[in-house]
Chain A
Amino acid sequence: MAEELLSIENLHVSFSTENGVAKVLDGVNFSIKPGEIVGLVGESGCGKTTLARSILGILPKNSAQITAGSIIFDHQNILKMQEHDIAKNIRGRLITFVPQDPFSSFNPVFTIGTQIMDLMKWKSSEKESHRFFGRARKSERDKHHQKVLKLLQTVQLPDVEGILRKYPHEVSGGQRQRLMIAMALLSEPKLIIADEPTTALDVTIQAQILKLLRQLAREQNVAVLFTTHDLGAAYEICDRVTVMYAGQEVESATVDAFFGKPRHPYTKSLLGSLPSKSGKLEGIPGQIPALINPPSGCRFHPRCEAASTNCAEERPQVHWPSADHMIRCYYPKTYD
């Protein structure tokens, strides 16, 4: 579909570990339209972080291998691009990243102002002007300074001038995350990858950050890939949600359809095990499989109530029971 900003097809990624080769992503399909906020949810080991990192091309070089598939961003297959091309034009420019732990993304010995100005110099969308030993002209620096101040105001940081003079350890977690969002928006990207951005934050701060992120994404028409294991956070902010299990994507739908009418047995069980007012406690029996020798076919079949013999033989193909609702299952729940 030509209108998609990002289209991942049949992506296979494996990691070599001491105990063998782990097939971390098993033929994953995934897409985001321009300006869309898509949630990628799943439990530990599902592959959401690996997927996010594959898009940015920052998988660990020694152990990770992309064995098949394509990642098409803005009509270009990233996997076929040269590394320096990706680093210069894509990473940090058209696709930016908001990490889970904002603290370790900052260099502790430089002020925040220094680091953002640096980013401004190299990654802003304006054309590069003359650099004197790597230092831009004063007029350009002033322009950057103003732009940074405005950006910090957009993310609702108090005392913007003061914050630039502070060191990373002097600001709170919520403020650091706002800074990361500001830095992600700085280059006017088309896609922001937010990897568990609110997991480490308190729930009241999380509410503020989610509100902010959604608002800014809408205003600037930026697509957001939001990975999380917190389904509530995904509900708050996403237009569409895709759920993964043990390296396979199993269902993808608009947020209301996903939470209101889940079709895949795993999605249903997952939503069912959330603590609810009714007080019923339903876990999913069994354990998330190790990825070195995962179950064959659909990896959820050993724990699935609806599973049958063909589930172990071959993984279900992509199926669209209704427009905008994708599922990979032989025995999904149906709604009339």
Chain B
Amino acid sequence: MLESTKFIISKLSRDRTSLVGAFLLIALVLIAIFAPVLAPYPEDVTEFHPPERLFGPSMLHFFGTDRMGSDIFSRMLFGARITIAIAVIAVGVSVLVGVPIGLIAGYNRNWISDGLMRISDIFLAVPQIILAIAIAQTLGPSIENVILALSATYWPFWARLVYAETRSALTETYVEASIALGASPFRVMVFHVLPNISSSIIVRTTIGMGGTILTAAALGFLGLGPPAPSPEWGRTIAESREFLPEAWWYATAPGVAIFLVVMGFNLFGDGLRDILDPRTRRSNDG
């Protein structure tokens, strides 16, 4: 495992687009961690200064101020924390739920697997955002409910993916050989199938985070995310609507932030996929 990580890093560093993506992601993480230090006005997350409302970008306020007079730049930095939290937890939970379900469904060929897949199909039949809206609306606007809504609508994707990959992996000769040696289903699933489908999962996790962030921002925009005065990016865009187009900086800042983060995940994920997905090898001429 260690060797392959080194190999991956060395291959990645040769690919410029994934380097850009990696840079953006590292920047995101650092910003989230060091937001209190980096932000010029950390208190503006909760405080407001009405006399300073809607100032344009300046040396004092890089991205201007919002309708409450708070520094948008600082609020954006703190918003990164929310974004990461939502993305990581939502994707993480859906993977932890969906992958085992997919494995079990893939291994069995009976009513269990059919049932699990039909349940996944029901969830997948509804567009994720609509379902997420419905759930968040019912439960009320908060960061926990956003995460819940996203996880609940995302796990079937993983279940389906892992189901297909498991089915395909089970036809591999080495899996058959292991079973012929007497390996239990658990052993086969965990030690043979899972490692061989893990690269597929990892790649999609990375790219999936980008999509999740967009959906989370959409929920925030609709007012279903963390309530005021949260500096969540989607919510900020919603707030800015009534002041456009004069206060252009108000929507641009969070918009650009979302764009960069999603780009970062996509570029990095693409680069990762190019390395991890099996390539056709050219045979040696003899």
Contact = CB atoms under 8 A, between A and B. Distances in A.
Direct contact of A and B (CB under 8 A): yes
Interface of B: 282, 284-286
Interface residues of A, number: 16
A97 to B, nearest CB: 15
Contacts of A64: 285
A99 B97 CA distance: 50
Contacts of B284: 15, 17, 22, 45
Contacts of B282: 60, 63
A197 interface: no
A44 interface: yes
Secondary structure dominating the interface of B: loop
A53 B285 contact: yes
A59 B285 CA distance: 9
Contacts of B286: 24, 44-50
Among B282, B284, B285, B286: residue with most chain A CB under 10 A: B285
20 contacts: A15-B284, A15-B285, A17-B284, A22-B284, A24-B285, A24-B286, A44-B286, A45-B284, A45-B286, A46-B286, A47-B285, A47-B286, A48-B286, A49-B286, A50-B285, A50-B286, A53-B285, A59-B285, A60-B285, A63-B282
Nearest to A62: B282
Interface string A287-328: 000000000000000000000000000000000000000000
Interface of A: 15, 17, 22, 24, 44-50, 53, 59-60, 63-64
A64 B285 CA distance: 10
Contacts of A24: 285-286
Given A48-B286, A50-B285, 20 more contacts: A15-B284, A15-B285, A17-B284, A22-B284, A24-B285, A24-B286, A44-B286, A45-B284, A45-B286, A46-B286, A47-B285, A47-B286, A49-B285, A49-B286, A53-B285, A59-B285, A60-B282, A60-B285, A63-B282, A64-B285
A64 B284 CA distance: 11
Contacts of A44: 286
A267 to B, nearest CB: 19
A42 to B, nearest CB: 9
Nearest 9 pairs of A and B residues by beta carbon: A45-B286, A50-B285, A44-B286, A49-B285, A49-B286, A24-B285, A15-B285, A46-B286, A47-B286
A138 B282 CA distance: 43
A60 B285 CA distance: 10
Contacts of B285: 15, 24, 47, 49-50, 53, 59-60, 64
Contacts of A53: 285
Contacts of A59: 285
A50 B285 CA distance: 6
B228 to A, nearest CB: 58
A46 B286 CA distance: 6
A138 B238 CA distance: 69
Contacts of A46: 286
A185 B285 CA distance: 26
Nearest to A54: B285
A45 B285 CA distance: 7
A115 to B, nearest CB: 24
Nearest to A47: B286
B126 to A, nearest CB: 36
A60 B282 CA distance: 10
A22 B284 CA distance: 10
A46 B284 CA distance: 11
Nearest to B282: A60
Contacts of A50: 285-286
Nearest to A22: B284
A53 B284 CA distance: 13
A233 to B, nearest CB: 17
Contacts of A49: 285-286
Contacts of A17: 284
B7 to A, nearest CB: 13
Contacts of A60: 282, 285
A228 to B, nearest CB: 13
A43 to B, nearest CB: 9
A118 B207 CA distance: 45
A56 to B, nearest CB: 13
A50 B282 CA distance: 14
B11 to A, nearest CB: 13
A246 to B, nearest CB: 10
A162 to B, nearest CB: 34
A195 B282 CA distance: 18
A47 B284 CA distance: 10
B286 to A, nearest CB: 5
A243 to B, nearest CB: 14
A78 to B, nearest CB: 18
